[in-house]
């Protein structure tokens, strides 16, 4: 299974604690967060990686090159740098166009830890979004799900409170959804997903797994403590 990794964001919310490197390379002890991500994906069977880069791309390219003969030795690895920030959907569409990608692939966030999901997604088929249950959804937004397991809508951050299902930042999609791209900024959440929802094509895969988005300092530091403890306990809220 091929995995496309969204790793081009600015990481503005984390800059007061991680100043010199892009968010995926945030240090966890002496090891970049992305190293643990790649280890986790390889352990789940991933052997084909495409890193979608923009902000401080050269640092992530350096990270990749340093691991080509070690961690990534048995893997096919490519990186592609956006000519300008194209948003999440635009980054995927640019990769599809530049690399001639076909069929289906996993898309995931470089800064969102999900302990499992790769094998489950492969079995679920496209177009499927992983969702996880959180006790407080206000920071993330809420995924609305119908009785048949399809996404029926989204509520934006702050529009809902309490427990519910959220987008876990990983999904399995088909390249054909990105072929009509016009070269402009394109959002998965605001542009691509609504079209799939309107066609009743976007399924959910509810998953019980360790999950954390390190995009804010408190959660980044929580992941660091979890890693330092030998991954004792659960990361879920």
Banded model confidence at residue 236, pLDDT cuts 50, 70, 90? low
**Which CATH number fits the domain 2-129+169-199+220-228, given the four candidates 3.90.550.10, 3.40.640.10, 3.40.50.80, 3.40.50.720?**
3.90.550.10
Give the residue ranges of DSSP H helices in the chain: 33-43, 57-67, 87-99, 118-124, 193-198, 217-228
Q: Taking 60 as the threshold, does the pLDDT of residue 237 lie above it?
A: no
pLDDT category of residue 11 using cuts at 50, 70 and 90: low
What b/e string do you get for 189-200 counting C-beta neighbours within 10 Å, with b at 16 or more? Answer: eebbbbebbeee
Note the pLDDT tens digit of each residue in 111-154. 999 999 999 999 999 999 999 999 988 888 899 999 999 999 99
Label residue 9 by pLDDT band (50, 70, 90): confident
pLDDT attached to residue 19? 78
| Predicted local distance difference test score (pLDDT) of residue 126 | 92
The bridge status of strand 104-109 relative to strand 164-174 is: antiparallel
pLDDT tens for each residue of 152-168: 999 887 677 889 999 99
Query: Could you give the 3-state DSSP secondary structure of residue 58?
Result: helix
Q: Cα 191 vs. chain centroid, distance in angstroms?
A: 17
Give residue-wise pLDDT tens across range 80-89.
999 999 999 9
129: β partners:
171, 204
What confidence score (pLDDT) does residue 158 get? Answer: 66
| Rg of the chain in Å (alpha carbons) | 17
**Taking CA 214 as the corner, what is the angle to CA 18 and CA 217, rounded to the nearest 5 degrees?**
50
Nearest-10 crossing angle of helices 57-67, 33-43: 50
- Residue 106 reports pLDDT greater than 70: yes
**Closest to 163 in 3D by CA, of 138, 130, 146, 189:** 138
Over range 96-120, report the average pLDDT.
96
Q: What is the mean pLDDT of residues 42-48?
A: 97
Question: Quick one: average pLDDT of 68-74?
Answer: 96
- Residue 139: the pLDDT is 84
Query: What confidence tier does 34 reach under pLDDT thresholds 50, 70, 90?
Result: very high
Say what percent of the chain tops pLDDT 70. 98
pLDDT of residue 15: 74
pLDDT, mean over the chain = 93
pLDDT digits (tens, 9 = 90+) for 179-202: 999 999 999 999 999 999 999 999
CA nearest to 166, candidates 130, 126, 218: 130
């Amino acid at each position: 299974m091929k995995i496309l990794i969204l790793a081009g964001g600015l990481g503005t919310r984390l800059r007061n604690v991680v100043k010199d490197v892009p968010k995926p390379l945030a240090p966890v002890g002496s090891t970049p967060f992305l190293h643990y991500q790649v280890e986790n994906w390889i352990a789940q069977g991933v052997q084909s990686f495409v890193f979608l880069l923009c902000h401080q791309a050269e640092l992530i390219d350096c990270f990749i090159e340093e691991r080509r003969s070690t961690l990534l030795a048995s893997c096919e690895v490519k990186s592609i740098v956006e000519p300008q920030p194209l948003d999440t959907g635009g980054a995927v569409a640019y990769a599809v166009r530049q690399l001639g990608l076909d069929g289906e692939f996993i898309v995931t966030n470089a800064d969102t830890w999900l302990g499992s999901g790769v094998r489950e997604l492969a079995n679920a088929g496209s177009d499927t979004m992983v969702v996880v249950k959180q006790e407080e959804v206000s920071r993330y937004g809420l995924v609305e799900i119908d009785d048949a397991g399809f996404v029926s809508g989204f509520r934006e951050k702050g529009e809902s409170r309490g427990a519910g299902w959220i987008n876990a930042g990983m999904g399995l999609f088909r390249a054909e959804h990105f072929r009509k791209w016009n070269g402009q900024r394109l959002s998965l959440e605001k542009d691509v997903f609504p079209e799939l929802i309107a066609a009743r094509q976007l399924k959910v895969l509810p998953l019980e797994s360790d999950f954390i988005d390190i995009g804010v300092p408190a959660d980044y530091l929580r992941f660091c403590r979890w890693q330092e403890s030998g991954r004792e306990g659960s990361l879920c809220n």
